[in-house]
Amino acid sequence: MTSPIIAFFNNKGGIGKTSLVYHLAWMYFDLGLKVTVADLDPQANLSAAFLDEDRLEEIWEGEIGNTIFQCLKPLLSGIGDIADPHPEAIEEGLNLLIGDLQLSGFEDELSSQWSDCLDRKERAFRVISAFWRILRKAASINEADVVLVDLGPNLGAINRAALIAADYVVVPLSPDLFSLQGLKNLGPTLVRWREEWRERLLRNPAVNLELPRGEMQPIGYVVLQHGIRFDRPVKAFQRWIDRIPTTYNDKVIQKQDAIVAHPSSDPNRLALLKHYQSLMPMAQESRKPIFHLKPADGAIGSHLYAVRDVYTHFKALAEKIAERVQLKLPCAPS
Ligand SMILES: Nc1ncnc2c1ncn2[C@@H]1O[C@H](COP(=O)(O)OP(=O)(O)O)[C@@H](O)[C@H]1O
Ligand SMILES: [Mg+2]
């Protein structure tokens, strides 16, 4: 079985998506899987979480050229197809496909090639499927068990191509008006992209060109509480939490006759993650996930208990996602 590609997507920024992907990548690695994690957000925050500035400078300004954009370059310049990816080894078995600010220059090309697929143009199919082919190649080079993908917060052409590459989608949400409103656009957009890709697939002129199926199956949402303001009454955010199950069901799953559960028992809710307070900056400073923090990093006293809690939360979340994508965890209790 090929390794599942799981995208983390919400059209609202600053809610903790990248931190979520970063921590899950480490958690799957800790649980004994080989992980490839891809930074497809042109802001490249995930790359900056994994790599220090010196290394990023070498990569972005030097000759190393192992970013996602470098893989696309020959295709974009019209002289060939995608170049082989060279993911960065963070650890043996944890590899990062590095992001690139230049990726934003790919947006227009992806947008125009999307309509060219309807005209049965082979190059259009090569361009639209480029992310998928790069991710699959990277996974095969790394012998990855799972591929996690971080995306920017918008409904643009880069994200459309990235989502077509995804087998599964997890929606990180913050319990507020903006996330709920975002969900109302995101759900129907996923449905439309899936349908439009199916329509295009029938027009692929290149029989030997393997293409993604564009499943992008939504497997649930993660509520990220850190974005909310605690100076406001608790009721304010509880109200949004209460509304998530119905909105998610109506807009993303679109099941008419579903009986919508209470928020805490909603099967679509994969986790509710807390505000990790000072542990998050401490982890960023040490360039490691929170659950790797040690007393030498500043995690002393009650922080150490909190670190263990974070490990428990992320392990449970990783197991839940694994179950939904039929991913076997070596260390999971049988
Ligand atoms: N659970 C959390 N607890 C505390 N701070 C968090 C948490 N998740 C994210 N943050 C902080 O919130 C900010 C935005 O997070 P980020 O993961 O970059 O969001 P996004 O990818 O949605 O833009 C970052 O400064 C990050 O450190
Ligand atoms: Mg981000």
Residue 202: pLDDT above 70?
Answer: yes
Give Dmax (Cα) for the chain.
64
User: Mean of the per-residue pLDDT values for the chain?
Assistant: 93
Alpha-carbon gap, residue 163 to 218, rounded angstroms = 11
DSSP letters for 226-253: GGS-TTS-HHHHHHHHHHHHHHHIIIII
On the question of pLDDT at 313 being above 70, the answer is: yes
Pocket of ligand 1 (CB under 6 A): 13-19, 45, 226, 273, 275-276, 280, 284
Q: Distance from the CA of 201 to the center of ligand 2, in angstroms?
A: 30
Return d(Cα 16, Cα 5) in angstroms, integer.
20
Which tokens hold the place of 204? 């692929």
Q: What is the pLDDT of residues 42-76, one digit of tens each?
A: 999 999 999 999 999 999 998 888 999 999 999 99
Strand, coil or helix: what is 145? coil
Q: What is the pLDDT of residues 265-296, one digit of tens each?
A: 999 999 999 889 899 999 999 999 999 999 99
**Predicted confidence (pLDDT) at residue 257 exceeds the cutoff of 80:** no
Q: Locate tokens 């259009």: which residue? A: 124
Question: In the chain, where does DSSP find H-type helix?
Answer: 17-30, 45-50, 53-61, 68-76, 107-116, 122-128, 130-142, 157-164, 177-201, 234-248, 279-286, 302-324
- Indicate whether 231 pLDDT > 70: no
Rg value, the chain, Cα: 20
d(CA 240, CA 193): 27
Banded model confidence at residue 177, pLDDT cuts 50, 70, 90: confident
Give the pLDDT confidence score for residue 259 in this predicted structure: 77
Q: Domains in the chain, please, with CATH?
A: 5-279 (3.40.50.300)
Residue pLDDT, tens place only, 119-153? 999 999 999 999 999 999 999 999 999 999 999 99
Q: pLDDT at position 234, please?
A: 61
| Residue 40 in this model has a pLDDT that exceeds 90 | yes
Mean pLDDT of 185-212: 96
Cα–Cα distance, 129 to 47 (Å, whole number) = 22
Mutate to test the pocket of ligand 1, among 17, 178, 280, 307 (most ligand atoms within 8 A of CB): 280
Residue 6 β-bridge partners? 148, 168
pLDDT classification of 258: cutoffs 50, 70, 90: confident
Nearest atom of ligand 1 to the alpha carbon of 14: 23
Look at residue 167 in the predicted model and tell me its pLDDT.
Answer: 98
Distance of alpha carbon 297 from alpha carbon 282, whole angstroms: 7
Cα 122 to ligand 2 centroid, rounded to whole Å: 32
DSSP calls for 58-90: HHHHSS---BHHHHHHHHHTTSSSPPPP--EEE
Give me the amino acid identity at 25.
A
Angle between the N-to-C axes of helices 157-164 and 177-201, in degrees from 0 to 180, rounded to the nearest 10:
60
| Residue to probe by mutation, ligand 1, list 20, 222, 226, 310, most atoms within 8 Å of CB | 226
Q: Binning pLDDT at 50, 70 and 90, where does residue 227 land?
A: low
| Section 223-237 average pLDDT | 69
Mutate to test the pocket of ligand 1, among 12, 15, 19 (most ligand atoms within 8 A of CB): 19
**pLDDT at res. 331:** 64
In the block, residue with structure tokens 């994690």:
37
How remote is the CA of residue 9 from the centroid of ligand 1, in Å?
14
Q: For residues 29 and 62, what is the distance between their CA atoms, to the nearest angstrom?
A: 29
Exposure string of 25-42, with b = 16+ CB inside 10 Å and e = fewer, is: bbbbbbbebbbbbbbbbb
Separation of alpha carbons 252 and 221, rounded Å: 10
